[in-house]
Amino acid sequence: MSTPHIEASADDFAELVLMPGDPLRAKALAEGALSNVRQVNSVRNMLAFTGSWRGHEVSVMGSGMGMPSMSIYAHELFAQFGVQRIVRVGTCGALHAHMALGDLILATAASTDSAMNRQRFQQWDYAPAGDFAMLESVSRHARAAGLTLHAGEVFSTDYFYHPDPDFVAHVSRLGILALDMETAALYALAREHGRRAMTVLTVSDVLPTSQHFSPAERQAAFGNVADLLLTALLEEDQ
């Protein structure tokens, strides 16, 4: 039961899917955190894997970069493959100087400069929010583990290289914590399909101080907290 972008059987995906942007990060994450890992998609090299974690089935799949790419994959996973929960495990650009490379951001909600949610919502302003129970559980486990975590709003932008030189000043002004390029679309799609989603981001760029992860650091980001995330989402009643 393939879709235009996922060549897999109906039962190849677990109910919980972790989605980094980068398909090679999906591979590294699956191989690092899961056992009995099998590859379930390779169309356009958007690699997807399913394996097991302490007896629970879990899938990991790349989303690609940006809201159109995330929307294609999240739509097909929710609509065709019975996926119940998607967790975006991405990287972000932090908007405030007190944040450090490697800090975690939990996205409670996502503003955006994309037109996608306006098109789906009568041109009104939709407020896409993450699933509270999932965010709360991950927040509690991360704090108990002593990780530096910031919970609040992100801004999902269509531009990595924004043409407005004052863009960062504008978005920081309203207390938004960080920039990504996917969350506003994922959160709206989850609601549209009656499913659940959350985003946890590793700070890979601190925009006010011009600090940046190397490409290798970007690719390794998050691997070390996969166990914590899966404990929070699979070993507690949600």
In the block, which residue shows the tokens 């100087």? 97
Among 108, 135, 205, 234, binds ligand HPA (CB under 6 A): 205
Structure tokens at 85: 């929960």
Active site residues: 205
Among 91, 117, 137, 219, binds ligand HPA (CB under 6 A): 91
Binding segment toward ligand HPA, per CB under 6 A, in 12-20, 30-38, 45-53, 90-98: 90-98
62 lies in the site for ligand HPA, by CB under 6 A: no
58 lies in the site for ligand HPA, by CB under 6 A: no
Residues 129-168 that bind ligand HPA (CB under 6 A): 157, 160
Write down the least CB distance from residue 120 to ligand HPA, Å: 22
Binding segment toward ligand HPA, per CB under 6 A, in 115-123, 144-152, 177-185, 222-230: 177-185
Write down the least CB distance from residue 127 to ligand HPA, Å: 20
Amino acid sitting at position 12? D
Q: Report the chain's C-alpha Rg in angstroms.
A: 17
CA angle 209, 98, 177 (to 5 degrees): 90
Q: SS3 of 94, please?
A: strand
In angstroms, rounded to a whole number, what is the distance separating the alpha carbons of residues 74 and 36?
24
170 lies in the site for ligand HPA, by CB under 6 A: no
Cβ contacts of 135 within 8 Å, gap of 6 or more: 106, 108, 151, 198
206 lies in the site for ligand HPA, by CB under 6 A: no
103 lies in the site for ligand HPA, by CB under 6 A: no
Query: Alpha carbon of 80 to those of 41, 104, 125, 193, 218: distances in Å?
Result: 14, 31, 28, 11, 31
- Residues lying near ligand HPA in the complex (CB under 6 A): 91-93, 157, 160, 179-181, 204-205, 207
